[in-house]
Amino acid sequence: MKSLMVVSQLNDPFYIDYDGEFAKYIIDRAKGSGLIEEGANVTELEANLVMQFFSPLVLSQRLLVDQTKEPCSSILCT
């Protein structure tokens, strides 16, 4: 499962690339959270949907930059 997300300084998604496994994972979680209807046939991710799950991570990154001046350049989840 792989994804690349580039976020602007305004915390808006600028670029998102992902594989099918990542898309399925996010879509399944979105259905479980009620963000997508259970019967919906969704195969492509929208930036807003991805940000629903990753906004806490993006916002904490902004906090690191503002308070410690030491931002993360990347995050790897294994």
Q: Give the predicted TM-score (pTM) of the model.
A: 0.77
pLDDT per residue as tens digits for the range 40-57: 888 889 888 988 888 888
Sole residue written with tokens 């503002």: 66
Spans of all domains in the chain: 3-68
CA atoms 17, 23, 29, 32: torsion sign: positive
pLDDT at 28: 93
47-68 helix and 20-33 helix, angle to the nearest 10 degrees: 90
Rounded to the nearest integer, the mean pLDDT of the chain is 85
